[in-house]
A and B are shown apart, each in its own frame.
Chain A
Amino acid sequence: MEKVYLDNAATTPLHPGVLAAMTEALSMYANPSSLHALGLEAEKMVEGARAELADLLEVAPENLVFTSGGTEANNLALKGFLARSQRRGLLVTSEIEHPSVLEVFAELKSQGWEVCRLPVDSQGRVQLSALEAALKRPVQLVSLMAVNNETGSIQPLAQAVDLVRARQPRAAIHTDAVQALGKIPFAPARLGVDFASVSAHKIHGPKGVGALYLSRRDRLFPLLQGGGQEGGLRSGTENVPGIVGFGRAARELLADPEEKRARVAALRQRFLAGIEGLPCRVISPGDGAPHILAVSFPGFRGEVLLQALSGLGVYVSTGAACSGKKGGLSQVARAMGLDREVAEGLLRFSFSWLNTEAEIDYAGESVKKVLADLAFVRGRRS
C-alpha cells in the first residue's frame, strides 16, 4: 500500500467529480460581473453552486456569502459583526476554538473588548454552566464551534443557542462549522445561529473557498471594500472554479449524507478494533463526530509516531495541522486537562468516506509495527 491518507480533518483530497467540474469551470474565464452573455454564464455557475451548498445547509441561497475559506468566514463574521454594532458587551467563546477564532478574539481583547473563554470538560465539550454564568451580564457575541477539530467532540450548540436566546436575546451567535459540514447533521437556520462558517476543502472540495451563512444580510460590515461582489459583503472577483468545486462537493454529500456518515463511523470503528490491545488511550468522546479519532500513546511522542507512520505511507496529524509545526502542547489538550504524557503522545486519525477498508487495516497494522519498532524509546525523553 503506497499512501493511506488519514488526515482528512486537515484537508481532504479532491473528489474526482469535483476535479472534473473544476477543470471544466477553469475554462470559463468570464467575470460574473460582466454584462455580456459570457458573464451571465459565469454568474449562473456561481449561483448554481450557491444553490447546491444552500441545499446541503438547508438555508436560502441568498443567506450564503462565498469567502476564501473558513478563516476568512470566521474573521468576516466576528469582525464584521462587531464593526456594525453600537453596544459594547461581553464577547464569549471557548478554549478550544480554531486559531482563526481564538486569534481574532485575542486581537479584539487587545483593542479593549472584554472576552470570556469558556472551559471544556474532560470530553472536550464546552461547559454550559460556565456559559450560563457568562450570560448574566450583557453579551454582545457568542462564538462556539460545532465540532472540535482535534478531538471531534460535538459541542452542545442547540442548548447553548437556547440559553443565549433566553438570557441575552440581543446577542449574536456564530458557529465555526468547518468540521461539522458533511460530518454530522448540521442546519444553521434550524439551529438558530446568526452566522456559520464552512469550508470546501474539508468535504473533498478545493482549497481557497469557504462560505459564511448569515441569517440577515444587514448585520455585517465587510472586511474588503471593492467591486461590491457577494452583495457588497465580499468584494473581489469571484473564484468561479473554486466555487463551482464547492458546489459540486456539496452535491456529492447531498446524495446520501447518512450513508456516508455511517460509512465513516464504520471505518473509525474498524480502525479502533484494529488497534485494540495496543498501549493507547482514546481521547475522542464516544459520541463525537465520526471522522475524527484522537488517540494517545502515552510514553511515545506523537510527532515521532507521526513520522514513523509517514515512513510507512500512513499520513496522520498530531494535534491540528495548522499548529503542528509550532511544537508545544495543543491548546485543546491543555483545555481538556490531559496529562503531559498523554498530550505528548496524541495522534489524530481522521477519516473520509473515500477511505477503503483495506487502507484502514493497513493503517492499523502500521500503528502496531511502529509501536513495536519504537518500543525501545518508550518512556524515554525522546
Chain B
Amino acid sequence: MDYKKILLRFGEVGLKGKNRAFFIRALAANVRRALAPLGSGFSVSTPYGRIFVDLPGPDCLEAVIPALGRVFGLVSYSPVAQAELTMEGIQAAALEELRAGGLPQTFRVSARRSLKSFALNSMEINRELGGFLLENCPGLQVDLHQPQRVVNVEVRPEGAYVFSRVYPGAGGLPVGVTGKGVLLLSGGIDSPVAGWLAMKRGIALEALYFDTPPFTSPRALAKVEKLAKILAQWAPVNLHVVNFTPVQRSLLERVPEDLTITVMRRFMFRVAQALARREGALALITGESAGQVASQTLESMLVINEVVSLPVLRPVVALDKVEIMDQARKIGTYDVSIEPFPDCCALFVSPHPKTRPTLAQAARAEESLDVQDLVAQALAGLETRLIKSP
C-alpha cells in the first residue's frame, strides 16, 4: 500500500481552549524536528486544526512510524489513503486498505462526513461501503462490536481519507509548551526517568550534571552524555556540566560528616536554581523517590528544599525502585545507568548520614561557608552542550 499521508491525532492539546493554536503549532514543530533526521521532503501541515504529514515517498513509512512514536502530545496516528470524492473512489481505496495488512476475518466501516454536500450521509456510506467490501472479499464478515479491523472513512472538503491502522502515540503534551525545567541528572537510574516523565508533560529539559574531577572519571561524564542522548530521542536536551569539586572540598573540610549529604544537596539545588533563573526555567526536576535514601526522607526533602523558591518536581516520588527500573528499561536508559562508574554521591556519601536533619542543623553546618561565593564559582565554570539524537 502506497501511503502518501499520515494523520496525527492529539487529545489533550485539543482541549486547551484559546491555547489550542499555540499547542498545535508546537506539536507540528516537534513533529518536524522528529522527522528531520529521516531526510527532507516531509511536509507537516495543520489544515482545519488537524495535523498531517505528507510523505516524500513510499519507502519511508517504516522509519516514520517509530519516530512519531517519540513525539509527546500525539495520541495516535494512522497512515491514510487519499481517495477521490466519489463513492467509487472511496470503495477502491478502502478495498486496497483492507487487503494491505492481510485480510481480517471481521471488520466494520466507520464513516464521518464533514462535507455535507457529499451525496451520501455517514450511515449510507457505512452501508454502501460495507456491502461493497463483503462482496469483494469472500469469507469476510461484519462485526459491529469487536471487529478485527475498522475501516475509517472521512469525507472532507479537501478529499476523502481511508485508514484502518492506528498506532498509539506517546501521549502527554508537546515538549516545550509547559515551559522549561532544570533536571538534576546523575548517572543513576532514577533521574533520567524523572526527566523523561517531565518531558512527557511538555517540559523542555535543561539537564544539569555535577562533575567532581578527579573524584569521578571522565567516563562518568560520558555516561551522563549517553543518558542525555537517550532522552534526546524524545526532544533535544541542553546538558550543563558544573565543576562541583570546590563545593565538595569545602563540605568535606567544614561540614560535619553526617550532614555532608544534606548540605551537598542544598548546594546542588542552589546551583540548579541559579541555572534555572539564567535559562528562564520555572522548576527543578529531581529523581528523588520518597524514603529511598537518607536525603530522600521527608525531613531531608524539607531541609534541602528550603534553599530554593522554585517548585521542585519529583516525578518518581511515589514509585518503588522496581517500578522506576521498569520504566528505565522501557525508555532505554537502564543499561547505561547500571554501568559501573560511581557518581559523586557514591564517593562522598557518609556511611551514616542523618536521615532526619533539621533546618537549624543545616544552617549551623553552613555557617562557616561562603554560600554565595561557592554557588557563583560553580556557575562560572559551567559548560553547556546541546544534545540531539540521533
Contact = CB atoms under 8 A, between A and B. Distances in A.
B340 interface: yes
A326 interface: yes
B211 to A, nearest CB: 11
Contacts of A376: 249, 252-253
Contacts of B252: 376-377, 380, 382
Interface string A364-382: 0000001000101100111
A311 interface: yes
Contact of A382 (B215, B219, B253): B215
B348 A327 contact: no
**Considering residues B213, B214, B215, B216, which has the most beta carbons from chain A within 10 angstroms of its beta carbon?**
B214
A376 B253 CA distance: 7
Contacts of A215: none
Contact of B217 (A303, A380, A382): A303
Contacts of A382: 215, 252, 347-348
A211 interface: no
Contacts of B219: 325
A270 to B, nearest CB: 25
A323 B214 CA distance: 19
A373 to B, nearest CB: 9
Given A327-B340, A382-B347, A307 B253 contact: no
> For the complex, would chain A's binding face be called helix, strand, loop or mixed by DSSP majority?
helix
Contacts of B17: none
A307 B214 contact: yes
B351 A307 contact: no
A196 to B, nearest CB: 34
Contacts of A370: 214
Interface in A308-357: 308, 310-311, 325-327
A306 B219 CA distance: 13
Interface residues of A, number: 18
Contacts of B351: 381
A130 interface: no
Contact of B214 (A311, A325, A381): A311
Interface string B139-173: 00000000000000000000000000000000000
Contacts of A307: 213-218
Contacts of A311: 213-214
A304 interface: yes
A376 B216 CA distance: 16
B272 to A, nearest CB: 23
Interface in B333-370: 340, 347-348, 350-351
B311 to A, nearest CB: 33
A65 interface: no
A305 interface: yes
A368 B350 CA distance: 28
A247 B253 CA distance: 55
A23 B182 CA distance: 50
A27 to B, nearest CB: 35
B224 to A, nearest CB: 16
Interface string A282-308: 000000000000000000000111111
B249 A308 contact: no
A304 B248 CA distance: 14
Interface string B206-246: 00000001111111000000000000000000000000000
A305 B214 contact: yes
A307 to B, nearest CB: 3
Interface of B: 213-219, 249, 252-253, 340, 347-348, 350-351
Going nearest first, the 7 A-B pairs with the smallest beta carbon separation are: A307-B214, A308-B214, A382-B347, A304-B214, A304-B215, A307-B217, A376-B253
Interface of A: 303-308, 310-311, 325-327, 370, 374, 376-377, 380-382
Given A304-B214, A306-B214, 5 more contacts: A307-B216, A308-B213, A310-B218, A377-B215, A382-B252
